[in-house]
A and B are shown apart, each in its own frame.
Chain A
Amino acid sequence: MKHHSERQAFGVEEIVHELKHFLPAQAPLKDFVHHNTLHAFQHLPFFQALKQAHSQFGYKGFLSLDTYRQLYREGKIKGEILQQVLKEHFGILANHWLVKLMDESVQSHEDAKVGRFRSHWRNDYHFNLDKITHPFLFRLLSAYLDQGISIWSFPVEAKGFLNAIRLIQQESFSSILKTERAKGLLAKSDLGLEELLEILVGKPEAYGWYLFDQQFAHPGWSGMVSVLESQPGSLLDSKMITLEDLIKVECLLEIDALDQKFGESWSPLGVRFHYDTKELFETSLFEELDLVLQCWQEAFEWSYYDEVLAGISAVNQPEAKPQVPSFQALFCIDDRECSTRRHLEFIDPQCATYGTPGFFNVEFFFQPEFGKFHTKSCPAPVTPKYLIKEKADHKKLAKDAHFHQNSHSLVRGWLSAQTLGFWSALKLVGNVLRPSSSALEVSSFKHMDPKGTLTIEYQGLEEDGLQVGFKIEEMADRVEGLLRSIGLLEKFSPLVYLIGHGASSINNTHYAGYDCGACCGRPGSVNARVAAHMGNHPEVRKVLESRGIFIPETTQFLGGLHDTTKDEIEFYDVEVLSPENLRLHQENQYKFSKTLDINSLERSRRFDTLKKNRPLSGLHEAVKKRAFSLFEPRPEYNHATNSLCIVSRKSTIKGLFFDRRAFLNSYDYRKDTQGKALAKILGAAAPVCGGINLEYYFSRMDPDKLGAGTKLPHNVMGLIGVANGADGDLRTGLPYQMVEIHDPIRLMMIVEQHPELVLEVLQSNPATYEWVKNHWVHFVVIDPVSREFLRFKDEGFVPYSPKAKTEHLDHLQDKLLSTKENLPVYVIDSL
């Protein structure tokens, strides 16, 4: 993070570079992946970062004081925890601060720095520049980047946005710019940004401030451009664009508008008003209010964490079972599988479940039959070298004529209206009164054709610089890595399930955020199937054996996909099972389906508009319907309420009810004495789970600036983003409907391993350590020997003893439907 400490020189290039760093880094909708919204501040300790982000950009990172006090009155912030937090911060002055927290109206109101400079256009030049330039700029950008909404495509082909605008200006009777000076500037082939800023701003030390103001007046579009500059591949119909081009075009439009209004004689903004870019980045001092809010937030967080740790210490460690489990099932670490695994273990107490990132340690690009492109099927930061191709006979795309562009033209539109129009009335009545599956739906099961075949084994083919399929050795590496990370090295059951997950929804622009994050926002079906195939491969088994992992011949791996919206499951390549295993599988299938019924019951408690007083199967049907009801903005609640990431053996948390709030990663400290597996797990879990958690956190805390606001008025722009209405900026972050039930608290990672080893592992990877050190995630270690909890603090560990009492629940279902609010941590004895 060197560039943060030294901000002396502010050349235009550095400014543009800085801008890219601060702008929202959200990819086009189809590639939506969760990440830390405030990634630009991650080098700072969490609360300092919130302060800095607030004073620089006006971002809100806290609830309001009122809300915290309300939570306290409702008991959601516990008194004794609050006291504990205050004592830790202030020692004997704790009570003094308690009064401040409770009563004092400490509120400083300072406008964000970014935006101040350019506001002089409006306030002192009495000219609403943005009102004139923004709509047209957005329209131009959107037209240039459009992926297939418009019927006429962008009329010129040019390298880059600025060149395209220049070409249009030259080659048409119409005109983008109106005034002579602006036209002249545009015509220059070596137009430099400084030249434009000289006219607009005048003072070099203010250029940076001006550009931040200008670009953060529409962070959505600027962020999109900046992402597309660095990942041009995320547009299928590729377009070349750079942030610098965008800035130049915007400056030209501004000069054009100003010249039109004032002639060429107006004085540059920086000459009349003095701003220095350096001040924009100055460290903001922590004030009393910040401390008050910090204490409230910490108390809010620990009120829950304390319960969790108390719960873990209340678990009776069962005697290690000697026998082989009835079957083993690997699920994704996703918080939505947390309840699935719990139910499955109660329905079949002899089975064993594991959690591991849902790409099952196989990374590749996937190309479905007839697909013209590849999609990445592994965590976003990884760049695979492999390609898996699908071969299928009959794969038809479901169509819906209502999306055909015919209906938008003149004559064919006339025919459409008279014919299709009446058909749409029927469809509408049909879908509103009786929702059913249709071509509009995004279904996780349609990602891959289960009857098709995959080219998993390398046949000597290369395509687009990718190796088609894996070699034996490469397969063995991946299977070994998978098994070692979860500590499954012996006692293999006859059936080992690998269950990926995906989601289904309709009328949902953010559908990619609902699928598996470890598969880059796609369903995990292909990965599950590929990994299972690798595990079953006799050659692979031989290699594994040579590396000390002996998998009995009777053991077979089976891939599957869990649809988390509909709570349905599908298995792949069942035909490879031996007759004996097939029989076992049929028995297990019944257990899975029962599990999913109960899982849908547990999920249904959050759904307000769903009638609960009906039999289990009816309830499940009603939950399924949400996946294809046009009018349902909440098909499922996705990761909402997530707040824990537990890296441990299942026995450590056996029977605990976490209310679907935990990412669970299986890890056996006894089998990882070197910490190699742990390093890999933490390296992935911190950014993935932490990223998800923080995206929810900030979207919930500041739905206007960091979230996408309510999704109801969203309008799809160019297939890459959504805006409010016709002229708005692109919205980044999550829609309010996704985060409304989310309690904004940071993620707590709990790791079961010797603290010295954990610290060593953490510090060996600076990227991961930054998350922990700066408290973007909380970190607790369970000492496997003493069973003590150790909390990460000041680059070391300090003991923590939980205060809460954990309630025993005989029968979970009695409690489940009693409230739609968060439930406390329970130890449960039965479903």
Chain B
Amino acid sequence: MELAIWIQFMIGIPLLGFLISLVIPEQKEKLLSRVAFYTAGINLGSVLVFLVFWAGIGFQALNLKEFVLFKTDHFEFLVDFFFDRVGAVYVVVGAVLTFLITFYSRYYLHRESGYKRFFNTVLFFYLGFNITVLAGNFETLFVGWEILGLSSFLLVAFYRQNLLPTRNSIKVFSIYRIGDVGLILAMWASHHLWHENITFLKLSNAELVSEHLAGHTGIGMFIALMLLLAAAAKSAQFPFSSWLPRAMEGPTPSSAIFYGSLSVHLGVFLLLRTFPFWENQLTVRILIGMMGLMTAIVSTMIARVQTSVKTQIGYASLTQIGIMFIEVAAGLEVLALIHFMGNAFLRTYQLLVSPSVVAYLIREQFYGFEPKAKKTESSWMNRLRISFYVWSLKEWNLDRFINKLVFNPLKRLGHKLDFLTYRSVLYYFIPSYLLGFYLLVSGYRIPDAVHGVLPAGFAFIALLMVLKSFTERRSARLAWTMLLMNHFWMVLAIAENENFSSLEIGTYLSGVVVFGLSGLLIISWMKSHLGQSGLFEYQGNVKSYPVLAFLFLLSVLGLMGFPISPTFIGVDLLFSHIHEDQVLLAFFAALAFVMEGIAAVRIFARLFLGAKPKLDGKNQSGLPETPSSLLSVKSSSFQS
């Protein structure tokens, strides 16, 4: 048997476990936790056995070409797996921690409402984690990457009826999404660099890489920087650090496994994985090192002023991850791996025992308290000390920085379209779209000067649609429709650009149409039944309409190109039609993709999460209208 086949188990077992956990009813606590426990346990066992065999062949890197998901003459979407030293460490640590956490949680979460949801999400996360660390190419990695993003969102918002978890989950998701841009653009650029779906196996061939990069230093640099962006967002590096403490909203074990250990180390993984690619780009290495150093310094200062246990551990972990970036940049792979393992275990443990800190530290204080000695220092030093303290307490304004730099300009752009209403959209944009579409299909020759700017122009309109949706508050329906329209404009933009075959268009739009319509249907239903249509507040309807919420979540995922919808491949496909020199078009497309996800999740969150719903009179009274049957019960019990 070829050893590479075994990799399938490492994906298959979590997948199977996840699917089984989906169908187990909520009340069967024991069964649910067992499924999760055995999934992680069996996988751990299987990996350990595998490692023995792998040692037998001298730890040689393995590649498994799984299957081709989609193929046209110039494009191929290939699922591919890869196993090497880096993957091995991540898989093992992931399996050990997931195993422990599932065991832990089966008691810890006992009787908690959402028991099933918790284990579903943890298994989903575990699946995404394994796909990511075992991916053999960027496309496969991106599948796992997206699953991680979604499961993180769901776990941060585990207490979905509360405002802060919901708000913070969107924040986490948004930053992750910024990272996704990096990955998408890196994929786009690498298509053009390699003219194929490059596997990580090939990427580790130094000669091949330097040969290809020889004439393309610019694009090589671009890819490396985009990878760095993806890695930095996922690992909460400077300046993205502020999401990490805010992610600690779920039950302690989930915070421990996600934000203490596994999830937050995946940026390091991405860098380790793509190391051969940027190994010879000194600028990139320096940049990574600088970013790591910056993160380490800033977050160690922030950790020092934290007064809550979990955020302190979060920032302390971040400090170490910053150092790992430096280690990776310096090419110290083994050290980085050891550091990763140690840090992951340490922070998991510290988070799990964090409630004990009260009793422990109070006892220590009780027996060993020393009143602070008065410091004598020059007034200038004193000033500096106070300033650093306050800046650290404000987390160096990183949160505001990201908002100012990224989200506020986009919001302003979106607000420019505030005059739009549902109707005006129907009146203006659909006819104009149809016109563009007609011109395209009829093959009308537009003057070249105009034609040259059309793709970018259309893409910009698409982007505006998304931004409008992102800032829309009055009407959920409008916001959703704009998201739908975005895709259509984007297709038009690409079709103007290059020959976009109908099969490709079909692939892209089929998901959009199906999920877009289902979402629209749900919003309309809610409008007519609940009279809710605005997005001003978090409405928390998930409690009363859990199934509807789930269906809407699926629609959101489908619409934003999550790997359950053909649109996922479509997005990749779409990018393959953007030329190497059309940076603006690529930028618009990527930005639209990012904001689409954020806007869609925002609509979901506002409609379904974040509040205890105010019940109307009808639902409150409780009993269905069967007074007579009740009365008979009553009277009989009185007689007895």
By a beta-carbon cutoff of 8 Å, the part of chain A in contact with chain B is 29-30, 64-66, 69, 73, 75, 79-80, 83, 98-99, 102-107, 109, 136, 139-140, 142-143, 146-157, 168, 171-176, 236-237, 368, 370-373, 397, 400, 402-403, 407-410, 413-414, 416-422, 424-425, 427-429, 432-433, 439-442, 506-509, 511, 608-609, 629-634, 704, 710-719, 723-728, 737, 740
Contact = CB atoms under 8 A, between A and B. Distances in A.
Contacts of A157: 374
Given A149-B307, A149-B312, A150-B304, A508 B355 contact: yes
30 contacts: A65-B621, A73-B633, A83-B638, A105-B618, A143-B307, A149-B308, A150-B307, A151-B303, A174-B390, A372-B366, A400-B360, A410-B319, A414-B320, A414-B323, A420-B342, A421-B344, A424-B350, A439-B360, A511-B358, A630-B104, A630-B352, A630-B353, A631-B107, A631-B108, A631-B253, A712-B109, A716-B358, A719-B361, A726-B168, A728-B164
Given A403-B360, A409-B300, A511-B359, A718 B307 contact: yes
Interface stretch (B379-387, B494-502, B601-609): B379-387
B367 A402 contact: no
B378 interface: no
Nearest to A147: B365
A107 B631 CA distance: 21
Contact of B342 (A136, A422, A724): A422
A416 to B, nearest CB: 7
A511 B355 CA distance: 10
Contacts, number: 319
A152 B389 contact: yes
A665 to B, nearest CB: 30
Nearest to B616: A109
Contacts of B374: 157
B383 A142 contact: no
B368 interface: yes
Contacts of B554: none
B341 A143 contact: no
Nearest to B313: A408
B19 interface: no
B627 interface: yes
B439 to A, nearest CB: 42
Nearest to B109: A712
Given A153-B372, A421-B344, A632-B107, 17 more contacts: A65-B621, A66-B623, A83-B638, A148-B364, A150-B312, A151-B303, A152-B392, A155-B389, A172-B390, A174-B386, A397-B363, A410-B296, A440-B353, A507-B353, A509-B355, A609-B107, A710-B112
Q: Which 4 pairs across A and B sit closest by C-beta, in order of nearness?
A: A105-B621, A421-B342, A66-B622, A424-B349
B617 A372 contact: no
B304 A148 contact: no
A156 B364 CA distance: 24
B235 to A, nearest CB: 15
Contacts of B111: 608, 737, 740
B346 A416 contact: yes
Nearest to B618: A105
Interface string B235-247: 0000000000110
A174 B320 contact: no
A151 B112 contact: no
Given A155-B389, A511-B359, A726 B104 contact: no
A724 B162 contact: yes
B169 to A, nearest CB: 11
Contact of B394 (A136, A173, A403, A633): A136
Interface string B108-124: 11111000000000000
Contacts of B248: 713, 715, 725-726
B423 interface: no
Contacts of A723: 308
A506 B356 contact: yes
Contacts of B283: none
Given A79-B637, A237-B369, A440-B353, A410 B342 contact: no
A8 to B, nearest CB: 35
B543 to A, nearest CB: 13
A725 B638 CA distance: 50
Contacts of B366: 236, 371-373
Contacts of A370: 367
Interface of B: 96, 100, 103-112, 158-159, 162, 164-165, 168, 245-246, 248-253, 255, 296-297, 300, 303-313, 315-316, 319-320, 323, 338-339, 341-346, 348-350, 352-369, 372, 374, 379, 382-387, 389-394, 612, 614-615, 617-618, 620-623, 627, 630-631, 633-634, 637-638, 640
Given A148-B361, A372-B369, A724 B614 contact: no
A407 B316 contact: yes
Contacts of A154: 389
A402 B346 contact: yes
A416 B347 CA distance: 11
A510 to B, nearest CB: 9
Given A172-B383, A400-B360, A727-B246, A65 B165 contact: no
Nearest to B101: A432
A400 B323 CA distance: 25
Contacts of A139: 307, 393
A140 B393 contact: yes
B379 to A, nearest CB: 8
B104 A105 contact: no
Contact of A171 (B158, B316, B372, B383): B383
A726 B246 contact: yes
A723 B354 CA distance: 13
Identify which of A66, A140, A432, A726 gathers the most chain B CB atoms within 10 Å of its CB: A726
Contact of A432 (B103, B306, B634): B103
A173 B621 contact: no
A422 to B, nearest CB: 6
Contact of A152 (B96, B109, B305): B305
B316 A413 contact: yes
Nearest to B296: A410
Contacts of A156: 386
A719 B358 contact: yes
A236 B358 CA distance: 13
Nearest to A144: B307
B112 A726 contact: no
A710 B252 CA distance: 11
Contact of A716 (B249, B357, B391): B357
B343 A417 contact: yes
Nearest to B631: A102
Contacts of A419: 342
B107 A629 contact: yes
Contacts of A79: 634, 637-638, 640
B310 A715 contact: yes
Given A370-B367, A712-B108, A713-B250, A433 B308 contact: no
A715 B300 contact: no
A765 to B, nearest CB: 36
A305 to B, nearest CB: 19
Contacts of B355: 507-509, 711, 714, 716
A174 B249 contact: no
A608 B342 contact: no
B356 A174 contact: no
A168 B252 CA distance: 34
B342 A236 contact: no
B224 to A, nearest CB: 26
B189 to A, nearest CB: 34
Nearest to B315: A408
Nearest to A156: B386
A148 B368 CA distance: 12
A429 B44 CA distance: 14
A723 B164 CA distance: 11
Nearest to A632: B107
A413 B350 CA distance: 13
A411 B306 CA distance: 18
Contacts of A507: 352-353, 355-356
Given A142-B307, A155-B386, A704 B612 contact: yes
